[in-house]
Amino acid sequence: MAILHEPQVELIAWTGFAKPEGYPWTTDSERDGERLIEFAGRMCYQSWDNPSGRTNREYIQNLLKQGHLSVLEHAQASFAISGISRSCSHELVRHRHFSFSQLSQRYVAEDEANFVEPSVIASDPRTHAIFVEAVEAARQAYIRLNELLEEKFSHIPSRVERRKLARQAARAVLPNATETKLVMTGNLRAWRHFLRLRASRHAEAEIRKVALLIYQKLLELAPAVFSDFQVTCGADGVTELITPYTAD
Ligand SMILES: Cc1cc2nc3c(=O)[nH]c(=O)nc-3n(C[C@H](O)[C@H](O)[C@H](O)COP(=O)(O)OP(=O)(O)OC[C@H]3O[C@@H](n4cnc5c(N)ncnc54)[C@H](O)[C@@H]3O)c2cc1C
C-alpha cells in the first residue's frame, strides 16, 4: 500500500490529419490538430485562399471569439490518468462528452490498493496519522471480507466469477481515497469546457491538479486552441486557469 499525493497524466493519443488532394490551401501550423481544425472551418465557406494572410493561430482565435466551437470537435486527445482517487474519478465521469475506460474493482483485486491523500490532510501529522490508520483499516476489512465471500461462493465453479462476486461486494468498504486509473478521451471543445470548470478555483483541489496537468499537455499539442487560458495564482495560493471566452 502506498499513499499518493500527485496525479499522473500521460498523453496517449492525439488526432492525425492527412490533407486531401484538390484543396488549394496551405497553413503555417505543423500540428495535426490545429491543421484539421482550420481545414474543417474552411470547409464551411470553401475559403481555401487566404488573402489576408491569416495565420492558423489567428484563424482559430477567431473561431474562439465567435463561439464557433463545433469546429474544435474534430480534434481529440486521450490521456492515461493514474494516482487519482475514486472521488476524483467520480467528478471526471460527470463530463458526458468524454469516453472513459476505468480500472474495474469487480475484476481487479484491491488487496494492495494505494490511497490518495488530500494535501491538506497530509500537511498535518495529526490528520495524516488518522488518514493512514483509516485507509489501512479499510484495506484490511476488504481483504478479510474478500476471503469470507470467496468461501461463501465456493460452490461456483468459475474462479473468475467467484472472485468477481466477492470483490464487487467487498469493495463497499473501500474509501473514496482508493486510487483508480482510467483512460479519458475527448474532443478539444469538450476539453476546453472541462478546463473552464475543473481548473477553476471553485473546483475541488485534486481534480484541479489533474485539469492543470491536462492543460499543459493540450497547450503543447494545440497552442492555438488553448493559449487564451492564463494560469493565475491568487493571494490565497490557489492556481487556476482563466479565459476571457465564455462560450462552450
Ligand atoms: C465547482 C463544481 C461543483 C460541483 N458540485 C456538484 C454538486 O454538488 N453536485 C453534483 O451533482 N454535481 C456537482 N458538480 C458537477 C456539475 O453539476 C456537472 O455535472 C459537471 O461539472 C459536468 O459539467 P456539465 O454539466 O457542464 O456537462 P458536461 O457533461 O461536461 O457537458 C458539457 C455541456 O454539454 C451540454 N450538455 C451535456 N449534456 C446535456 C444534456 N443532457 N442536456 C443539455 N445539455 C447538455 C451542456 O451545455 C454542458 O455544459 C460540480 C461541478 C463543479 C465544477
Instruction: Identify the active-site residue in 192, 196, 198, 208.
Output: 198
Burial class (CB in 10 A: 0-12, 13-18, 19+), 215: buried
> How far is residue 84's CA from residue 167's CA, in Å, rounded to a whole number?
20
Query: Ligand 1, closest atom to CA 202?
Result: 1
Write the CATH number for 63.
3.30.1360.170
In a domain, 129, yes or no: no
Measured in Å, residue 200 CA sits from the centre of ligand 1 at 14
In a domain, 127, yes or no: no
In a domain, 237, yes or no: yes
> How far is residue 212's CA from residue 225's CA, in Å, rounded to a whole number?
15
- C-beta 126 within 6 A of ligand 1: no
> How far is residue 166's CA from residue 144's CA, in Å, rounded to a whole number?
11
Domain with 215, as residue range(s), is 10-78+181-242
Q: How many domains does the chain have?
A: 1
Query: Ligand 1, closest atom to CA 91?
Result: 15
pLDDT in the model for residue 192 = 98
- Tell me the pLDDT of the chain (248 aa) as tens digits: 899 999 999 999 999 999 999 999 999 999 999 999 999 999 999 999 988 899 999 999 999 999 999 999 999 999 999 999 999 999 999 999 999 999 999 999 999 999 999 999 999 999 999 999 999 999 999 999 999 999 999 999 999 999 999 999 999 999 999 999 999 999 999 999 999 999 999 999 999 999 999 999 999 999 999 999 999 998 888 899 999 998 88
Full-model pTM: 0.95
Q: Could you say which DSSP state residue 85 is in?
A: E
Measured in Å, residue 245 CA sits from the centre of ligand 1 at 18
Residue 94 CB neighbour total at 10 angstroms: 10
Residue 48 CB neighbour total at 10 angstroms: 13
Has 192 been annotated as catalytic?
no
pLDDT in the model for residue 234 = 85
> How far is residue 61's CA from residue 73's CA, in Å, rounded to a whole number?
15
In a domain, 107, yes or no: no
> How far is residue 13's CA from residue 7's CA, in Å, rounded to a whole number?
19
